[in-house]
Amino acid sequence: MEPDLTMPLATGLEEIDADNRHLLTTLDSVALLDSKRFPAEYSRLVELIERDFRREELLMERIDYPAERQHLEQHARVLGGLHRAEAALLLGDSAPARRCLQLLPKWLELHIATQDAPLALAAELASVPPHLP
């Protein structure tokens, strides 16, 4: 499933927006890989998502974000699923990982609207410098 790269990704914080656009592009390219290259690139994708989430989490800590717990729970649930799929992939079953790549674009769209956009607004209201950690 190709991500909708025209979906509104603007949160108001360019670095979150850039991370999200890059993630969608990477999801699309990894999903198209053959079975030989897929496992290594899937692992790199999981690392990319972990890095992006950590940057957001550091921002939340910096501004003492009131909805931090809910945002962290969303990150933890997604990472849990990605890690379980990665474990299956290491055992030779690529179906869960490929299914994750089908589901992630829609989840990301919802996450941007309900979690990242309010975080960006809170960062702006807190007068946090525009660069993520």
> Hey, what domains does the chain have and what are their CATH numbers?
14-125 (1.20.120.50)
d(CA 21, CA 122): 21
Mean pLDDT, the chain, rounded, equals: 89
pLDDT in tens, 123-132: 989 886 656 6
For the residues 42-53, what does the mean pLDDT come to?
96
Q: Give the model's pLDDT for residue 129.
A: 63
pLDDT in tens, 86-101: 999 999 999 999 999 9
Instruction: Write out the DSSP string of 26-89.
Output: HHHHHHT--TTTHHHHHHHHHHHHHHHHHHHHHHHHHHT-TTHHHHHHHHHHHHHHHHHHHHHH
Q: Has residue 4 got a pLDDT over 50? A: no
pLDDT in tens, 11-25: 888 888 888 889 999
